[in-house]
Structure 1
Amino acid sequence: MRVLINAISAKMGGASNYLKEIAIQLASRNSRDEFVFLLPPERIPAIQSLFPGAEVIGSNQAGAGVLARLWFDQITLRRMIREKRIDCLFSSADFGMLKAPCRQVLLVRNSVYFFAMYLEQYGGRRPWKARLSDRFRRWLVCRSVTSADFVMTPSRAMLDELCRWVTVPETKGFANYYGVSHSRFSPRKFQEQKSGPWNLLFVSLYTDHKNLGTLLRGLEVLTRRGEDVHLSTTADPHWPAARITQSWVEDARLADSPLIRERVHFVLTDAAAAPKNLYAACDIFVYPSVVESFGHALAEAMSSGLPIIAADVATNRELCGSAALYFSPFDPGELAARVQSVIADPVLRRRLGEAALTRSRLFRWEQHVDVLLGCLKGEMSRFNNVVDKGEEALIAAK
């Protein structure tokens, strides 16, 4: 079987990390199947080093306009499939080929096109050209879903939101959780008593729906209440690329305010590959993001055995279950109260940390790639609801 993996959008963040993990898993299997990666030129060295046996082709189409990307996906890529005698196409980032000449598996992962909370809270604030582009892209994703043989999403919450816009039959659409590289993270030793400041951590790229402002306001509340709390985060509103967002000016003002500026520490690192020492150095992981298709950082925090406090939205609850405390997404006072409850109660901290470690076993790249390969071979029925069965087995093993 010859498989073409279309990953031309994997320039940074979660898409880049996903591509890396897929390459690692495929290389480890010593399969007779052949894989061709189509990706941004800057990602070629990394993928070649991880998967020397793969064919790698560079493309800058991710930076092209919508119409140029449409031409590439529908015309240029179709020609490439014929020339390279491809048997299966894996479209790994939302946009697929309409009426593909081979079996096609589509991964829909961009939550901002579909989640009601994003459209209600942030969509209307975007410039009209951006809103028009979003509508066209959403339409194109929906057409891609209709044309694909199988449709994967990283969570059930993402699939539910997608189904608000397009019909996805149960025979072709399903959730397939991403994994976490468990070997990168070591559970932190539990401390019943702690001296010094409490260290909060939030790992993410900066954008509007990551909801950093609520976390910063929560830190202000904690400071006024006399709590010795510091925040480390990779979500920096001063980041040059943040200038396209609607919230960066206000969030930068909050971060620089005299009350908390000495307590906020922006960490210069790739949020998709946050080093394990970031997690090891923190006491509580706080996740204010309100729109996610998965949430890699949540899985990493669970693998690190950290107590988690997360915004009360469907994806966060699906991933964390009882391994987190939740707060109303835009209520900094409730966020602060959850932090205080974890600080004050060592029994609660231990329970959340242990539950997180157990829960993290749900997220395995090996399982994700097993399901992907099954779909590429036309065997989706073997893996249908594999995530649900995995969770049932985990609960039964407790």
Structure 2
Amino acid sequence: MARILIYAPAATAAGGIRYLSEFLARIGPARPQDQFTACTPVKFVEGFRAAPSNVRFVPVEFSGLIGRAWWDLVGLGRLVRREACDLIVATGGFAMPHPPRPQILMNYNALYFSPIHEAELRRRGLWRQRIEMKLRRAWALRSMYGSTINIVPTRACGDLIAGRSRRPIPGIRAIYHGFDPDEFVRLARPLNLAQRARLQSRPEGWRLLLASHYNYFRNFETVLRALAVVRQAIKQPIQLVLTTILGIGLRDHGYDTTEAAKLIHTLRLEDAVIMLGPVAQDEIATLHSLCNAVISPAYIESFGYPMVEAMGCGRPVIAADTPVHREVCQDAAVYFSVFDADALAARIVRFAEDRKLADQLAARGRQRVRQFSWADHIRQLGECFDECLGRSNAMVTAA
């Protein structure tokens, strides 16, 4: 029996919660011979139901970079010794730089390593965020150097991280996220009444879904500029559906939406943009069924889960032309140069006017999405666990 510590003290964002929930629900039954201790936020523990019998929770709370640094440097080491752990599995991109046991680090945040995002923060005059980004990148790299295996969700993400490091990063492994398209669609609930009413309040039209909270790297502004061009190019109504709310002075997850909100007013897009606000995860598949296509305009991603969800729902994808998007979607999407609104507009017009093309891409997406399975994800992680546990046993024997 191995004692494995799952270190996820900052799993509070929607993507992190979704992944950790699926991971913990599956890893316990897949390795019944092992005992797992999951170090997670208090709110995650309160919301997690039906934990496997071999998964036990240690809830934690902290605030800010200093609190997180204390846990990485001090709290984690104490927990490893107290629990007599054989292996550390850190899911949040940060961990111990000098762990007492083999450490697997999951590096799922490419944002800290993006030169484009750094330039965007400079353009917006966000100097504090730039400094924080550099500090996080430095700490993430130190955590990687101390890890036995570094897991990334795509090869392209691994290449980006390696390109920002001055020394080799040990044991980089690309393991795709898991996804079950049948379950995703089967378990979908109806869209809540208020959001459905908001959709139905607009005239029937061709709907493009951007399923994301607002963030500078999501590139909303390019999509809005493209939408203005599209409205001049075709007669049928075009609607952009957002799962956020944009407004002057309004922040979403700490990001100021003012620039995007002003752009909607300047381009007179008020009647073409439908802001639903956050949509529950188990209602996302239903929302896909009410839209014609999905756009993923981000200039940086580590994986791009919304594209996988779109393919699983049989929706064609328009994506920014980045290495990660190309790796994930392959020929199941059409691509546009990241900040080229005219090129994006041309792709949207083509989709709206060519049903055959949209159907072809949807069919390719249904095939492509089958490559992302939870069974493969858990199996590959298990192989990494076994490799590191062999080293852990050797360390104990040597001691």
Q: Among 165, 179, 197, which residue is 2:205 paired with?
A: 197
Q: TM-score, normalised by structure 2?
A: 0.86
Q: What one-letter code is carried by the residue in structure 2 that aligns with 1:310? A: A
- Contact 1:2 1:87 (8 Å CA) reproduced: yes
| More deviation, 318-327/65-74 | 65-74
Summarize the Cα distance change of 1:284–1:46 in structure 2 as closer, same or farther, 3 Å threshold.
same
Q: Among 221, 244, 248, which residue is 1:213 paired with?
A: 221
Summarize the Cα distance change of 1:274–1:217 in structure 2 as closer, same or farther, 3 Å threshold.
farther
2:134 matched residue in structure 1: 135
Q: TM-score, normalised by structure 1?
A: 0.86
2:196 matched residue in structure 1: none
1:112 matched residue in structure 2: 111
For structure 2, the residue ranges without an aligned partner over 5 or more in a row are 187-202, 391-399
SS at match of 1:130: helix
- Contact 2:103 2:388 (8 Å CA) reproduced: no
Once the two structures are TM-superposed, the CA of residue 241 in structure 1 deviates from its matched residue by 3.8
Q: Deviations over 1:312-354 (max 9, x none)?
A: 1111111111101111111222111111111222221121011
Taking only the aligned residue pairs, the percentage that are identical comes to 27
Matches within 5 A, 1:1-398: 1-29=2-30, 31-61=32-62, 64-123=63-122, 125-166=124-165, 172-182=171-181, 183-185=183-185, 196-225=204-233, 226-238=235-247, 240-242=250-252, 244-245=254-255, 248-256=257-265, 259-270=268-279, 275-378=284-387
Counterpart CA distance in 1 for 2:254 and 2:151 is: 29
Q: What one-letter code is carried by the residue in structure 1 that aligns with 2:21? A: K
For structure 1, the residue ranges without an aligned partner over 5 or more in a row are 187-194, 382-398
Summarize the Cα distance change of 1:234–1:227 in structure 2 as closer, same or farther, 3 Å threshold.
same
Q: Deviations over 1:269-323 (max 9, x none)?
A: 3576552101111111111111111111000001111111111111111111110
Summarize the Cα distance change of 1:333–1:50 in structure 2 as closer, same or farther, 3 Å threshold.
farther
Summarize the Cα distance change of 1:124–1:336 in structure 2 as closer, same or farther, 3 Å threshold.
closer
Once the two structures are TM-superposed, the CA of residue 203 in structure 1 deviates from its matched residue by 0.7
SS at match of 2:270: coil
Q: What one-letter code is carried by the residue in structure 2 that aligns with 1:210? A: R
Summarize the Cα distance change of 1:86–1:123 in structure 2 as closer, same or farther, 3 Å threshold.
farther
Counterpart CA distance in 1 for 2:389 and 2:280 is: 32
Counterpart CA distance in 1 for 2:237 and 2:94 is: 46
**Aligned residue-pair number:** 370
Summarize the Cα distance change of 1:107–1:273 in structure 2 as closer, same or farther, 3 Å threshold.
farther
Counterpart CA distance in 1 for 2:117 and 2:90 is: 24
Counterpart CA distance in 1 for 2:91 and 2:279 is: 21
2:200 matched residue in structure 1: none
Counterpart CA distance in 1 for 2:376 and 2:279 is: 25
Q: Deviations over 1:120-151 (max 9, x none)?
A: 33355353232222212111111111110000
- Contact 2:213 2:278 (8 Å CA) reproduced: no
Counterpart CA distance in 1 for 2:254 and 2:278 is: 20
Counterpart CA distance in 1 for 2:308 and 2:354 is: 23
Q: What one-letter code is carried by the residue in structure 2 that aligns with 1:70? A: A
SS at match of 1:230: strand
Counterpart CA distance in 2 for 1:219 and 1:184 is: 29
Counterpart CA distance in 2 for 1:180 and 1:45 is: 24
Once the two structures are TM-superposed, the CA of residue 70 in structure 1 deviates from its matched residue by 1.6
Counterpart CA distance in 2 for 1:309 and 1:210 is: 14
1:396 matched residue in structure 2: none
SS at match of 1:302: helix
Once the two structures are TM-superposed, the CA of residue 69 in structure 1 deviates from its matched residue by 1.8
Q: What one-letter code is carried by the residue in structure 1 that aligns with 2:66? A: L
Counterpart CA distance in 1 for 2:209 and 2:377 is: 27
